[in-house]
Amino acid sequence: MSAGVAKPANPMPHVDPKSATLKEIPDVLVDPRTMRRYTRGRFLGKGGFAKCYEITDVETKQVFAGKIVPKSLILKQHQREKMTSEISIHQSLNHPNVVGFHGFFEDDDFVFVVLEICRRRSLLELHKRRKAVTEPEARYYMTQLLKGVQYLHNNKVIHRDLKLGNLLNSNELLHTRDFGLATKIEFDGERKKTLCGTPNYIAPEVLCKKDRWLGVFQKLLICWDFPTQSSLRCYKQNMQRSISESTTH
């Protein structure tokens, strides 16, 4: 993976991630291509293999969010390809309702992704504090969400993991983040068949061939409750069916 064009990192010998010793993240992050330096600040959060910190450009003093992934946790081919795909898709996007992508680089131990910082955190954290928002607020957030989703779909990108935790609020705008499960439609009529995402948010039309959704966000915002548990039941049934089919073929 080198700056400019996302591509798989060089093959690495297999090591069990659970037994691998994680290197300490440096206090100063250096882009070896541009020699730009960033100081690592406060911890913002973590998810999957990544940790996120506030980072500051030493020269310009501009503040970003730095997503940092240890290479020792992405040793398998499919993990490196997933990281490459996430970077490739995200760097191709530019819209007010998508978290800004400002570059990426790597050293021997880590992959660093430089992103727009959203200081007011996620809608999930907002809900933990307030439990519910007003209907005018819900309308505003839904409008922002739909603008972002429309942009993604116009650019043939399917996010596949939209949830409150992946919607960041900053400067009165809602920003969609985390393209780790995202995919791109390569030709008209292509159908993606991978079942993935967060079960409570997966659309019933994906699981049970029913025609409704994104309303899950509106009900969550106003009532702090999922519309139905049927999606979970369908998810379990489909997973059991998939496992059964894979063992009989």
- Residue 49's domain is classified under what CATH number? 3.30.200.20
Would residue 83 count as lying in a domain?
yes
Residue 4 burial (CB < 10 Å; 0-12/13-18/19+)? Answer: exposed
Residues 144 and 99 grouped into a single domain: no
Name the residue among 49, 162, 31, 144 with its Cα closest to residue 95: 144
Instruction: Judge whether 76 is annotated as a binding position.
Output: yes
Residues 6+ positions from 66 with CB-CB distance below 8 Å: 29, 38, 40, 52, 53, 54, 55, 112, 113, 114, 115
Domain end residue (candidates: 86, 115, 144)? 115
Residues 206 and 178 grouped into a single domain: yes
pLDDT of 2 reads 46
Domain end residue (candidates: 88, 115, 142)? 115
Would residue 62 count as lying in a domain?
yes
CB-based contact 71:111 (threshold 8 Å): yes
Domain end residue (candidates: 115, 139, 157)? 115
The total number of structural domains in the chain stands at 2
The residue assigned the tokens 């070896």 is 32
Residues 162 and 81 grouped into a single domain: no
- Chunked into runs of 10 residues, the chain (249 residues) has average pLDDT values of 50 49 90 96 91 97 97 93 96 97 96 93 87 88 93 94 90 91 89 74 62 62 62 54 53
Separation of alpha carbons 236 and 62, rounded Å: 46
Residues 105 and 128 grouped into a single domain: no
Residues 87 and 150 grouped into a single domain: no
Residues 93 and 174 grouped into a single domain: no
Would residue 215 count as lying in a domain?
yes
Backbone angles phi, psi at 133, to 5 degrees: -115, 170
Neighbours of 22 (CB within 10 A): 11
Beta strand 37-47 with 50-57 is antiparallel
Separation of alpha carbons 53 and 38, rounded Å: 11
Task: Tell me the CATH number at 146.
Answer: 1.10.510.10
Residues 154 and 182 grouped into a single domain: yes
Residues 214 and 153 grouped into a single domain: yes
Residues 230 and 155 grouped into a single domain: yes
What's the token pair of residue 92? 């191709």
Catalytic residue among 27, 31, 109, 161: 161
CB-based contact 128:74 (threshold 8 Å): no
Residues 139 and 166 grouped into a single domain: yes
Would residue 11 count as lying in a domain?
no
Residues 147 and 166 grouped into a single domain: yes
Can you give the residue range of the structural domain that contains 183? 123-243
Would residue 128 count as lying in a domain?
yes
At 132, the amino acid letter reads: A
Separation of alpha carbons 25 and 86, rounded Å: 21
Q: Look at the pTM and tell me if it is higher than 0.85.
A: no
Residue 3 burial (CB < 10 Å; 0-12/13-18/19+)? Answer: middle
Residues 131 and 88 grouped into a single domain: no
Would residue 162 count as lying in a domain?
yes
Q: Is 161 an annotated catalytic residue? A: yes
